Structure 1
Amino acid sequence: EFTEYCIDGDNQAREKMSQRANGARSLPQIFINDQHIGGCDELHTLEFQGELDNLLKAS
Structure 2
Amino acid sequence: MFYDSFSATFLALVFWWAILLAFKRYPSRYPNNNTWKKDIFITFIQSIVSLIVFAIINYYY
Q: TM-score, normalised by structure 2?
A: 0.29
Q: Which has the higher helix share?
A: 2
Q: Which has the higher strand share?
A: 1
Q: Which has the larger radius of gyration?
A: 2
